[in-house]
Amino acid sequence: MVLSTGYKKIKTAVFISGTGSNLKSLIKFSKLKKSPITIEMIVSNNPKSKGLNLGKIYKIKKKIFNFEKQAKVEKEILFELKKNNIELICLAGFMKILSKDFINNFKGCILNIHPSLLPKYKGLNTHERAIKNKDIYSGCTVHFVTSKLDSGKIINQKKIKISKKDNPKTLAKKILAEEHKLYPRAILKIFSL
């Protein structure tokens, strides 16, 4: 699949597992005239995701999938995405690792936001690790998704200074606020190439 721009906006699905604050910022961005995307679907592996409420508020289709049998469920998700002509997937706090097969079906069209300055701190507990290592800076990264965890091509990053007073919680809060600005910027960047 090739990402297309042109006149039509790119039909996007956002995958979440939790709060959905990045989803909210993407929805708000998608409503702007300058946005190249529309958000057509919210996908979650977790029926308790707070972010699912946004589907109701903004009248966006929500789909919850049980990942116990991942291979089977990924086929169902792909079917649903294709049925709705989804062209782009934005992972936003989605806590499942998608299979190589799934990613290949959406080659180059899956983005992720990660709360660290990749390639540093792939995986979980990024803020704890940055503070433990006495890093001076941390931040967030938007990147293309490949089958190697948190390793695809970087689109953009925002660096922030870690204060001596920061703990993982305060750092997460600071970085999250930056994530909300970074993800829309990344989308603008890839579609204005």
Please say which residue, 4 or 53, places its beta carbon nearer to ligand GRF.
53
Please say which residue, 8 or 50, places its beta carbon nearer to ligand GRF.
50
Nearest to ligand GRF by Cβ — which residue? 93
> Rounded distance, CA 19 to CA 54, Å?
10
Cα–Cα distance list, 50 to 21, 25, 29, 88, 93 (Å): 9, 14, 19, 22, 12
Tokens of 94: 């989605």
Please say which residue, 123 or 161, places its beta carbon nearer to ligand GRF.
123
Task: Classify residue 44 by its DSSP letter.
Answer: E
> Rounded distance, CA 176 to CA 191, Å?
23
What are the residues binding ligand GRF (CB under 6 A)?
A: 16, 18-22, 51, 92-93, 113-115, 176, 179
Backbone torsions φ then ψ of 173, nearest 5 degrees: -65, -45
Catalytic residue IDs? 114
Cβ at position 114, least distance to ligand GRF in Å: 6
Cβ at position 116, least distance to ligand GRF in Å: 9
Cα–Cα distance list, 36 to 8, 39, 110, 122, 185 (Å): 8, 10, 15, 29, 11
Cα radius of gyration (the chain): 16
Please say which residue, 75 or 120, places its beta carbon nearer to ligand GRF.
120
Cβ at position 42, least distance to ligand GRF in Å: 11
